Chain A
Amino acid sequence: MERRGFLRWFTLLFGALCGGSGLVSLLGRRPQDGGWQVVAKPEEFEGQPALRVRLAVRAGWETAERPIYLVRDGEGIKALDARCTHLGCTVRFKEGEFRCPCHRGVFDAAGQPVSGPVSVPLPTLETRVQDGAIEVRA
């Protein structure tokens, strides 16, 4: 191959390497901590219809918080993702139901859609009680 042709290929390849690795790093998956986290003590939840707790999630170089609600599920405990299934605002527990301040979506205490622009229930997260603490899987 003549020298000019080689240089051109080399330059193209090098450019593809730079741009490609940039794209992959931007779009590729990052390590996630999917483990169990202690969110509350059973005493804190006793006698409450709902309890707002926070789950730590990795976001880029930061540790961010994801708001979670613990609610009653018969005898057990259920953890609901507090992000509204409509557009992702944080729902608040008020008068026995979850209300989204952004677009007036309402979910019942079990996270089922009631009214407003919502049709998908609040997602449930795995919970367990271990060593005297309520844990949620991130």
Chain B
Amino acid sequence: MLRLAVIAASACVATGVFLSMQYAPTWAAAQPAVRTIQDEAALGWLLRGLHHWGGTLAILLAFAELARLFWHAQYRRPHHRPWVATVLLLLLSFGFAYTGYLLVGDERAYAGALVLEGVARSTPLVGEAVGDAVLGGPVVASALLARLYTVHIVVLPMLLLAWIVAAARREKTTASGFVAGAAKGGTAVLGALAALAFVWPPAIGEIGQPGKPPAADAQPEWFFLWVNELLHRVDGFTFLIGGVLPVATFALILFLPWIARNGTRRAEVAVAGVLAVIVVSLSALAATREVDPEFANEEDASLPIATDDTNVLTDEQQAGITAALKKFRCARCHVIDGDPEGGEDGPPIPRGERFTELYTRAYFKAKIGDPEGFWADTGMYYPRGRKPNEEELALLELYFYGSAR
């Protein structure tokens, strides 16, 4: 079974090479890239399906092997090496799957990234520093995706290769010989993966947008559900639940050969049973959770939202907007952005999202500089003889609408 797990993992490596060529780790690009692969690229659905289900199957197969070894008590020293090797492969598979699900860049990934941030920042004493180091900044942004991407496609694959080489050496064969050793089962695994990819294409959610609230009903990958559910239900102890608990659980499993005593197995079986019941029931609880409409991800309709992009203009953009507004003499009649120099003939023009869809690039293009440009209803005239260029149009849009479209 371990070899089959390695075959599934190898399928991920092979498909991952091609997926990475069609992907970019930024929040703006990731989800659209994944969607393009899934929906538009030739055989992209197969590529991504093999990758996704290959990862899932690697976890399941490694876990099944672990259960088999446990059943036969084959974790006892001095015959503990297969046990340790299997746990390490399982850990690697979880690492791949965890970083991988965040790399999709959808709402679920964004919600997961926030949990990651919360756990990192809950580290005692040095939480903020740990959080900043993990995220690469003060908030979840593309810097985090870049880090996860490198871990997913460089660090973990190197560790996987090291694992395969070590396993091959133990069996006195080469790495490729080790992978190809389960050719018959491998064919079945690949066939199963292709069938899964066809029948259950892996989901892609709406695009994740940092700075905006995440989807309230977002759930992490299935193997992380139980931890998430505990985090969801318990106040405080974030570091204990999100950080210490998963690490301790894996440490317990990994070091079982040194913990377990020879003789009766009652203690091990009891602990494994309790752990299994806890994980399964928490996961089941998570799966049945529904969003309380009282807590729906929206606020009172009456509540205004301040000027949307007020603060996200760069100095350069701000200077460009000021120059454009000056060039078209807007301040002759309007108070622009609270500037006391502005004229009083027209209404004040504050910045962003105060105006309707009317004030688009096309509108300004048609009106500004047009000798016929005259707003009969209000008596407003548009400055003649000064045609705005595309850059100025974009800046005006940024000013009036709050963002350039």
Quick check: A54 and B211 within 8 Å, CB to CB? yes
Say yes or no for B308: interface residue by CB 8 A criterion.
Answer: yes
Chain B residues with Cβ below 8 Å from A58 are 137-138
Within 8 A of B (CB), among A99-124: 99-104, 116-119
A86 to B314, CA, bound (A): 32
Quick check: A57 and B338 within 8 Å, CB to CB? no
Contact string against A for B residues 259-298, beta-carbon threshold 8 Å, 1 for contact and 0 otherwise:
0000000000000000000000000000000011011111
Quick check: A86 and B296 within 8 Å, CB to CB? no
Chain A residues with Cβ below 8 Å from B307 are 40, 44, 53
Quick check: A67 and B211 within 8 Å, CB to CB? yes
Say yes or no for A87: interface residue by CB 8 A criterion.
Answer: yes
Quick check: B133 and A92 within 8 Å, CB to CB? no
A48 to B303, CA, bound (A): 7
Say yes or no for A88: interface residue by CB 8 A criterion.
Answer: yes
Other-chain residue from B142, B299, B312 in contact with A54 (beta carbon distance below 8 A)? B312
Quick check: A61 and B236 within 8 Å, CB to CB? no
Quick check: A87 and B297 within 8 Å, CB to CB? no
Chain A residues with Cβ below 8 Å from B146 are 60
Quick check: B311 and A87 within 8 Å, CB to CB? no
Chain B residues with Cβ below 8 Å from A64 are 137-141, 210-211
Quick check: B137 and A39 within 8 Å, CB to CB? no
Say yes or no for B135: interface residue by CB 8 A criterion.
Answer: yes
Contact string against A for B residues 208-236, beta-carbon threshold 8 Å, 1 for contact and 0 otherwise:
00111110101000000000000111111
Q: How many pairs of A and B residues are in contact by the CB < 8 Å rule?
A: 159
Chain A residues with Cβ below 8 Å from B314 are 63
Chain A residues with Cβ below 8 Å from B218 are 102
Given A52-B303, A59-B135, are A40 and B235 neighbors across the interface (CB < 8 Å)? no
Say yes or no for B238: interface residue by CB 8 A criterion.
Answer: yes
A55 to B115, CA, bound (A): 21
Say yes or no for B42: interface residue by CB 8 A criterion.
Answer: no
Quick check: A59 and B238 within 8 Å, CB to CB? no
Chain B CB within 10 Å — which of A30, A89, A100 has the most? A89
Interface size class of A (residues with CB under 8 A): 35 or more
Chain A residues with Cβ below 8 Å from B111 are 89, 102
Given A39-B306, A94-B300, A103-B232, are A54 and B311 neighbors across the interface (CB < 8 Å)? yes
Say yes or no for A38: interface residue by CB 8 A criterion.
Answer: yes
Say yes or no for B20: interface residue by CB 8 A criterion.
Answer: no
Chain B residues with Cβ below 8 Å from A90 are 212-214
Cβ distance B125 to chain A, nearest Cβ, rounded Å = 16
A102 to B115, CA, bound (A): 10
Within 8 A of B (CB), among A18-34: 26-27, 29-30, 32
Say yes or no for A95: interface residue by CB 8 A criterion.
Answer: yes
Cβ distance A97 to chain B, nearest Cβ, rounded Å = 10
Quick check: B295 and A104 within 8 Å, CB to CB? yes
Cβ distance A66 to chain B, nearest Cβ, rounded Å = 6
Chain A residues with Cβ below 8 Å from B141 are 59-60, 62, 64
Quick check: A101 and B136 within 8 Å, CB to CB? no
Say yes or no for B304: interface residue by CB 8 A criterion.
Answer: yes
Chain A residues with Cβ below 8 Å from B210 are 59, 64-65
Say yes or no for B350: interface residue by CB 8 A criterion.
Answer: yes
Across chains A and B, which 4 residue pairs bring their CB atoms closest together, nearest first?
Answer: A60-B143, A59-B137, A59-B141, A101-B216
Interface residues of A (CB under 8 A from B): 26-27, 29-30, 32, 37-41, 44, 48-67, 70, 86-90, 92-95, 99-104, 116-119, 132-133
Interface residues of B (CB under 8 A from A): 111, 114-115, 117-119, 121, 132-133, 135-143, 146-147, 210-214, 216, 218, 231-236, 238, 291-292, 294-300, 303-312, 314, 338, 350
Identify 5 new A-B residue pairs, CB closer than 8 A, beyond the known A41-B338, A59-B142: A48-B304, A54-B308, A59-B141, A60-B143, A88-B115
